[in-house]
Amino acid sequence: LIENIGSADRLVQESAADIRHGGDQAYYVPAQDYIMMPARSMFKDTTTSTATENYYSTLFHELTHWTGAKHRLDRLNTAKFGGKDYAFEELVAELGAAMCCASTGVTSSPREDHARYIQNWLHALKSDKRFIFAAASQAQKAVDFLFSQQQAETLAA
């Protein structure tokens, strides 16, 4: 079972993102501006993470993509899978997810599968180390945007 983490749930809820559950894959649909997530029951414990950690890190990954929409941070483009721009956006989303987990108390230990995932994208970027810094900067902007939505909700209340 996935444990509810109040601060993580608040961040997601106050983002006002359109999040739908169904199917067996997680992804963001820019053209229709929604996030698709598998049912919570699809997330399981692994040797490195709990179902809770897996669920929230996946959700935060997609939420980071969501921040890149033109009417938000205008970071996304129509990059094709495997290209340099696509690899860059995947790094941004992975780093943004890690930052959101850390900021909301979602316990997260370094995971070998995430490290391999990031390494694959760094390899796709020809191991140009500047890209990791640029991606980290964009990830921080995404996280700042998400938390600014939360602060705006608090101020409006």
Residue 35 φ/ψ, nearest 5 degrees: -105, 130
Q: Is the pLDDT of residue 156 over 70?
A: no
pLDDT tens-digit readout, 3-36: 999 999 999 999 999 999 999 999 999 999 999 9
Predicted confidence at residue 154, as pLDDT, reads: 62
pLDDT tens-digit readout, 95-153: 999 999 999 999 866 666 666 666 666 676 676 768 888 999 999 999 999 999 976 66
Predicted confidence at residue 151, as pLDDT, reads: 67
**DSSP letters of 81-100?**
TTSHHHHHHHHHHHHHHHHH
**Strand, helix or coil for residue 149:** helix
| Whole-number average pLDDT of the chain | 87
The band of 78, judged by pLDDT with boundaries at 50, 70 and 90, is low
**CB within 8 Å of 86: residues ≥ 6 apart:** 79, 80
The band of 50, judged by pLDDT with boundaries at 50, 70 and 90, is very high
Residue in this structure with the two tokens 């391999």, named with its chain if needed:
116
Predicted confidence at residue 64, as pLDDT, reads: 98
